[in-house]
Structure 1
Amino acid sequence: MNPFSLFLIRSGITIPAGVLTWFSSILFLDQTFFPSVLYAIVVGSAAYFITDGVIKHRFLKKQDLTRKEYKYINKELKGAKIKIARLNRAVFAVRHFSSLKQRIDLIRVTRKIYRLTKQEPKRFYHAEKFYYSHLDSIVEITEKYALLSTHPKKNRELQLTLRDTRNTLEQLTKSIEEDLHEILTDDIDDLHFELDVVKHTTFKKKDDNLFDESRNLK
């Protein structure tokens, strides 16, 4: 759920409800200013919580999640957000220019997975490898790599270690790209289905046109 959109919806219902209650209390119930304000606050608060409950219920129903599942996923996403921030700092602390593009791609894919899961929490179950394994590994390795890369004197052993770490990061990046593909599996299947429908409809229309033309020629 987009927090800003939620804020607009709740405000769009809460504020008018409170203002209407305030006017009604003064005009129709002969209340003074302060009691009318109190009524407006009570009604506005009730409207806020009711609206919030309805929106969350519809959202969870659409995502096919229980409140318990959504709460758990939200907790995991908060932890993942902190890890991704750590990864971002470590990636740009690494002093190795030739691998910069690879590291930027890593950040891009990682953020993409997080953003998709944030928008549609049910995708979390397609990204469990990412959240439970791959993200932790890549954050830990990147942070250590960033620390070693800043060492002023790099002997042969350290250079070999840095090279092996870059290779490992490359493999992990591929694993995370596979995680992204797994998250998008349903979308890809839906797209293939839509394409098949369009192709079938187009070909059928062409066949019908050809049949009509052949009949007209006769």
Structure 2
Amino acid sequence: MNLFISFLIGTFVALPIAIVVWLISFFAFDQTMMLSSAYSLGGGLSIYWLLSMMVKASFLKKNQLTRKEYRYIKKNLDEANLKIKRLNKSLFQIREIPSFKQRIDIIRITRRIYNLTKKEPKRFYQAEKFYFSHLDSIVELTEKYALLTSQPKKTLELNQTLNETRYTLNDLSKAIEKDLYVILADDIDHLNYEVDVAKYTINTHKEQKYLEESRLKK
């Protein structure tokens, strides 16, 4: 839910109403400035709260979620956001050139999944494997990998561990890429359907045009 937009809508409507309430209280009902200000503040806050509830209810209805479901999803998204920040910090601490592209891809995909879910919370249920398994694994591995690569002297055993960690990170990178495809599966199916409809329409139009031209030639 876009809290900033909700705040702007609430402020845009509540502020003029608060001013009107103050003017009516002070001039029409001859109230003191303090009482007029209290009524104005109470009226403005009431309208702001009411509008916030309406925006939230509209958002939940659009996403087909209950308040309980949204609280559960928001809690997990807040935790995931902290994990993604840890992940990004660790990835930027790694100075290896060969794995640069892989690290950028991991950052891009994790942020893409998070932003999609934040915008449309119902997608969270399609991304549970990412939030409850893959994200935790990739954060832990990356933090350990960043620590090990920062060591000034690397033994044979340490290099072997680093190699194994690279392979595992590569597998996890592919796993979160699949998680993204799972989230986008419905969109891809819908797009394919639209493409098929468009192709059918074009082909039908071509056939009709061909038949008309054939009749005219006869």
**TM category, shorter:** over 0.9
For structure 2, which runs of at least 5 residues remain unmatched after alignment?
none
Q: CA deviation at 1:157?
A: 1.2
Tell me which residue corresponds to 2:184.
184
Deviations 1:94-143 (A, max 9, x none): 23221111111111101110111111100000000000000000000111
* Count of equivalent residues: 218
Q: Helix, strand or coil for the counterpart of 1:152?
A: coil
Tell me which residue corresponds to 1:131.
131
Structure 1: distance between partners of 2:124 and 2:16: 37
Tell me which residue corresponds to 1:29.
29
Q: Helix, strand or coil for the counterpart of 2:99?
A: helix
Q: Kindly tell me: are residues 29 and 217 of structure 1, through their superposed partners in 2, closer, same or farther at Cα, counting changes over 3 Å?
A: farther
Structure 1: distance between partners of 2:84 and 2:127: 15
Residues 5-14 or 208-217, more deviating = 208-217
Q: Helix, strand or coil for the counterpart of 1:184?
A: helix
Q: Kindly tell me: are residues 153 and 213 of structure 1, through their superposed partners in 2, closer, same or farther at Cα, counting changes over 3 Å?
A: same
1:1-218 → structure 2 map (5 Å cutoff): 1-218=1-218
Deviations 1:33-90 (A, max 9, x none): 3222211111111111111111111111111111101000000011101111111111
2:190 maps to amino acid: D
User: Could you say what the CA RMSD is over the residues aligned between the two structures, in angstroms?
Assistant: 1.4
2:41 maps to amino acid: I
Q: Helix, strand or coil for the counterpart of 2:152?
A: coil
1:111 maps to amino acid: R
TM (norm. structure 2) is 0.95
Q: Helix, strand or coil for the counterpart of 2:93?
A: coil
Runs of 4+ in 1 over 4 A off after TM superposition: none
Residues 128-137 or 30-39, more deviating = 30-39
2:129 maps to amino acid: K
Q: Kindly tell me: are residues 214 and 30 of structure 1, through their superposed partners in 2, closer, same or farther at Cα, counting changes over 3 Å?
A: farther
> Quick one: percent identity of the two aligned structures?
52
For structure 1, which runs of at least 5 residues remain unmatched after alignment?
none
Structure 2: distance between partners of 1:151 and 1:34: 66
Q: Helix, strand or coil for the counterpart of 1:92?
A: helix
Structure 2: distance between partners of 1:152 and 1:24: 74
Q: Kindly tell me: are residues 115 and 216 of structure 1, through their superposed partners in 2, closer, same or farther at Cα, counting changes over 3 Å?
A: same
Structure 1: distance between partners of 2:108 and 2:185: 19
Deviations 1:129-186 (A, max 9, x none): 0000000000001111111111111111111110110111010000000000111111
TM (norm. structure 1) is 0.95
